[in-house]
C-alpha cells in the first residue's frame, strides 16, 4: 500500500506528523514506535508505513488508552499490513466512545436542567453522572475484543469455499409467518439482521437481546440507521423477562454452548414461545476448525480448555438433537456446507491469536517468525491450508 523507498529523517517525520521529536524518541525508547532503519551515523529513519502505525497509536491514545495498553496492543499485532482491518476496528471503538460521550452529555444536561429550573437539588442526578462516567473505561479490552472478533470474521470472509455466507444462509432457513413476533437471544452485534436487512418483512416484530452490555451497544451502533425496526434489551436467557407464549419464534445463533444452566435456558425459551412456535438453535460440530489444534502444536503450544472443541462441547451438532428433542417436537438438523482454504499465513495467525488461549504472549518474536515462514512454505506447497468447518442448526416446534 505504501511506497517503502521513501524514508524520512526523524525531523522530517515529526514535521509531517505534527508531533515533537521528544515524543518520537520516547516512543522509540519504550518500543512503541521504533524507526524502520538507521543511517550509518545512527540517526533514525522512518517509512511511509510508520505514519499508519503512528496514526493507530495516536487514535488509541485519543480514545483514552494508556501508553501501556497501547504498547500491549501494538506488540500483539501479528503484522503491519492489515490497515483496513485496523481502521475498521478503530472506527468501531470511536463509535462506542461517541455513544458513551453522548450519554455523559445527556446526564449532565439533565442535572443542568434541574439547576436552571431552581428545583430542589436531587443528588441522585450527580450519582447518575458518576455512574455514566465510569462506564466503558476499559477501552483496551474493548479494542482487543473487537480485534479478535474481526480476525475470526475475516478468515471466514476471505477463505470460505462457500461464498454465500453463514448469516445469509441461516436467515434463509427461517420459515416464519408474515406477522411473526421474533426473539433473538445472544444477538451479539446484530450481524444476522444487518447482513439480511433488505430481506426482513416489514411486518416482523423483532426483539434482540444479549447477556453482554457491550454486545448490545455494538448492536445498537450497527442498527443506528434502522433502530425503529428493532427492540434491544439486556437479557439472561435463564431468566427471560417476557410473558408466557409471547413469541412466534426464538433464535439462538451460536450461543447456547456458553450457557451453564441449559435446563433453565430451554425452560425459559419454551415458556415464551407460543404453541406451535418455531425454535432455531445453531452450533458447531466436533470437527469444526479441528486442524487448528495441529497448527498450535507446530507452534509449540497447546489448545486447552478454551479451545473451540472444549468450549462448545456442551451443545454441539453431535449431541444437540437429544437436548432440543426434550423440549421441542419435529426436531431436525440442517448443516451448512463449507470449509476453509487459507492462502494467507498472517490471516491464519491473526485467527489463532484471537482465541482466548492468547498464544501470542507465550511466543517470542524469533519463534514467531520461524512459525510464520513455515506456514508460508506449507501454503505454497499445498496451495493453501485446509481447515474443516462444521456448522448447522436445530429446528423444533413447541410441543
The C-alpha atoms of residue 143 and residue 94 are separated, in whole angstroms, by: 10
Given 3-state DSSP classes, what are the helix, strand and coil percentages for the chain, each rounded to the nearest 5? 50, 20, 30
pLDDT single digits (tens) 16-30: 999 999 999 999 998
CATH number for domain 161-398, candidates 3.40.50.150, 3.90.78.10, 3.40.50.1000, 3.40.50.1370: 3.40.50.150
Do the Cβ atoms of 174 and 395 come closer than 8 Å?
Answer: no
**pLDDT tier at 303, thresholds 50, 70, 90:** very low
pLDDT at position 308 over 90: no
Give me the sign of the Cα torsion angle 349, 353, 357, 362.
positive
Q: Give 83's DSSP letter.
A: H
**pLDDT tier at 379, thresholds 50, 70, 90:** very high
Cell 550509518, residue?
40
28-42, 255-269, 291-305, 380-394: the lowest-pLDDT one: 291-305
pLDDT at position 67 over 90: no
The residues, ordered by sequence, that sit 6+ positions from 3 with a Cβ below 8 Å of its Cβ are 48
Whole-number pLDDT of residue 372: 82
**Percentage above 70 pLDDT, the chain:** 84
Q: What residues are paired with 391 via a beta bridge?
A: 284, 336
**pLDDT tier at 353, thresholds 50, 70, 90:** confident
pLDDT at position 81 over 60: no
Cell 482454504, residue?
341
**Percentage above 90 pLDDT, the chain:** 50
Residue (of 273, 59, 103, 67) closest to 182 by Cα position? 273
The C-alpha atoms of residue 54 and residue 51 are separated, in whole angstroms, by: 5
pLDDT single digits (tens) 247-273: 999 999 999 999 999 999 999 999 999
**pLDDT tier at 361, thresholds 50, 70, 90:** low
Whole-number pLDDT of residue 323: 97
Mean pLDDT of 232-261: 96
> What are the cell numbers at 153?
470474521
Q: What residues are paired with 342 via a beta bridge?
A: 385
Do the Cβ atoms of 117 and 82 come closer than 8 Å?
Answer: no
Is 149 strand, coil or helix? Answer: helix
pLDDT at position 380 over 70: yes
Angle at Cα 206 formed by Cα 200 and Cα 210, nearest 5°?
A: 120
Give the class (CATH, top level) of 7-75: mainly alpha
The residue extents of the domains of the chain are: 7-75, 83-137, 161-398
The C-alpha atoms of residue 387 and residue 11 are separated, in whole angstroms, by: 48
- For residue 32, what is the enclosing H or E element? none
Do the Cβ atoms of 299 and 378 come closer than 8 Å?
Answer: no
Classify residue 350 by burial, with Cβ atoms within 10 Å: 0-12, 13-18, 19+: buried
Query: Has this prediction a pTM greater than 0.85?
Result: no
β-sheet with 7-9: strand ranges across: 7-9, 44-47, 37-38
The C-alpha atoms of residue 73 and residue 200 are separated, in whole angstroms, by: 38
Cell 476453509, residue?
340
Is 118 strand, coil or helix? Answer: coil
Whole-number pLDDT of residue 80: 52
Average pLDDT score over the chain: 85
192-196, 209-213, 384-388: the lowest-pLDDT one: 209-213
Please give the residue that has the higher pLDDT: either 141 or 128: 128
The C-alpha atoms of residue 257 and residue 282 are separated, in whole angstroms, by: 10
Angle at Cα 286 formed by Cα 327 and Cα 334, nearest 5°?
A: 50
**pLDDT tier at 138, thresholds 50, 70, 90:** low
Please give the residue that has the higher pLDDT: either 137 or 169: 169
Whole-number pLDDT of residue 356: 59
**pLDDT tier at 121, thresholds 50, 70, 90:** low
> What are the cell numbers at 324?
432440543
Amino acid at each position: 500500500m505504501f511506497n517503502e523507498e521513501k524514508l524520512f529523517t526523524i525531523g522530517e517525520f515529526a514535521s509531517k506528523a505534527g508531533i515533537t521529536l521528544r515524543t518520537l524518541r520516547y516512543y522509540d525508547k519504550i518500543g512503541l514506535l521504533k524507526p524502520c532503519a538507521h543511517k550509518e551515523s545512527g540517526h533514525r529513519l522512518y517509512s511511509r508505513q510508520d505514519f499508519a502505525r503512528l496514526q493507530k497509536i495516536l487514535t488509541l491514545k485519543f480514545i483514552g488508552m494508556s501508553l501501556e495498553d497501547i504498547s500491549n496492543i501494538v506488540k500483539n499485532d501479528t503484522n503491519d499490513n492489515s490497515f483496513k482491518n485496523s481502521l475498521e476496528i478503530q472506527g468501531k471503538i470511536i463509535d462506542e466512545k461517541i455513544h458513551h460521550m453522548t450519554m455523559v452529555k445527556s446526564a449532565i444536561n439533565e442535572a443542568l436542567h434541574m439547576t436552571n429550573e431552581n428545583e430542589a437539588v436531587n443528588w441522585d442526578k450527580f450519582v447518575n453522572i458518576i455512574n455514566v462516567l465510569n462506564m466503558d473505561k476499559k477501552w483496551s479490552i474493548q479494542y482487543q475484543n473487537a480485534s479478535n472478533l474481526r480476525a475470526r470474521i475475516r478468515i471466514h470472509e476471505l477463505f470460505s469455499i462457500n461464498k454465500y455466507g453463514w448469516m445469509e444462509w441461516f436467515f434463509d432457513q427461517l420459515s416464519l409467518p408474515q406477522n411473526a413476533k421474533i426473539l433473538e437471544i445472544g444477538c451479539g452485534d446484530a450481524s444476522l439482521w444487518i447482513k439480511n436487512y433488505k430481506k426482513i418483512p416489514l411486518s416482523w416484530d423483532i426483539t434482540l437481546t444479549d447477556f453482554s452490555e457491550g454486545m448490545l451497544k455494538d448492536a445498537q451502533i450497527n442498527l443506528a440507521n434502522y433502530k425503529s425496526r428493532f427492540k434491544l434489551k439486556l437479557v439472561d436467557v435463564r431468566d427471560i423477562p417476557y410473558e408466557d407464549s409471547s413469541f412466534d419464534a426464538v433464535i439462538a445463533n451460536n450461543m447456547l454452548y456458553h450457557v451453564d444452566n441449559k435446563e433453565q435456558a430451554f425452560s425459559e425459551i419454551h415458556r415464551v414461545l407460543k404453541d406451535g412456535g418455531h425454535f432455531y438453535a445453531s452450533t458447531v460440530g466436533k470437527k469444526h476448525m479441528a486442524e487448528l489444534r495441529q497448527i498450535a502444536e507446530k507452534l509449540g503450544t497447546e489448545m486447552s480448555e478454551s479451545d473451540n472443541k472444549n468450549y462448545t462441547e456442551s451443545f454441539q451438532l453431535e449431541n444437540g438433537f437429544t437436548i432440543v428433542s426434550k423440549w421441542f417436537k419435529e426436531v431436525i438438523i440442517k448443516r451448512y456446507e463449507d470449509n476453509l482454504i487459507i492462502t494467507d499465513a498472517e490471516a491464519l495467525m491473526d485467527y489463532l491469536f484471537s482465541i482466548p488461549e492468547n498464544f501470542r504472549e507465550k511466543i517470542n518474536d524469533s519463534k514467531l517468525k520461524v512459525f510464520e515462514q513455515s506456514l508460508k512454505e506449507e501454503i505454497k506447497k499445498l496451495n493453501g491450508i485446509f481447515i474443516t468447518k462444521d456448522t448447522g442448526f436445530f429446528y423444533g416446534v413447541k410441543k
